Amino acid sequence: MILATHALVGAAVAQIFPKYPLLGFVAAFLSHFILDAIPHDDYERESFISDKNSPNDISKMDMVLGKKFIRDLIKISFDCIFGFAVALTFFSNSGLALQIAFIGAVGGVLPDALQFVYFKIKKEPLITLQKFHKAIQHKLGNGIYRVGILSQIVIVVIVFILGIGRNFLR
């Protein structure tokens, strides 16, 4: 899933727990893995490399700093900022809703942010988290990009209808 989807869903999920921001954060964090288990697609990250002989061995994956990393960073930053901006706009009807949305958006994107840390610091608990994150992924690939994007749009619409409806009922 792209970061915008994780941020939007995380913000909406956190709205379920307005009196318990830590619980909202944890629920948003967990929503990341639930979303990644749904068939999806996202953009390629050029700076991520894997061993040619064992492409699925996460211990041999790395992130190379250079021009490709800068391009990835720009793409990822835009994706994340867009997701946060939309989430915070939708939940800006009160100060509390805005704060909870921010906490949820952070929780929703944090597992992907921790991948960057993992690629440079391969220590526990990051190793276990990365193994789980890679195992849960259900990327469509093989040219099914439209279906992968459509699944994300449907998810965001459903979660936002539920999240926004709950938010406006308060």
Per-residue pLDDT at 139 = 64
For 116, residues 6+ apart whose C-beta sits below 8 A from its C-beta are: 63
Cα separation, 102 vs 13, whole angstroms: 11
Q: Pick the residue with more confidence: 133 or 28?
A: 28
Per-residue pLDDT at 169 = 41
**Structural domain containing residue 155:** 3-169
Per-residue pLDDT at 11 = 93
For the chain, the domain total comes to 1
Model-level pTM? 0.82
Per-residue pLDDT at 168 = 47
Cα separation, 65 vs 52, whole angstroms: 19
Give the tens place of pLDDT for each residue, 83-137: 999 999 988 787 888 999 999 999 999 999 998 888 788 899 988 998 888 888 7
- The percentage of the chain sitting over the pLDDT mark of 70, rounded to a whole number, equals 79
E strands, the chain, in order: 48-49, 62-63
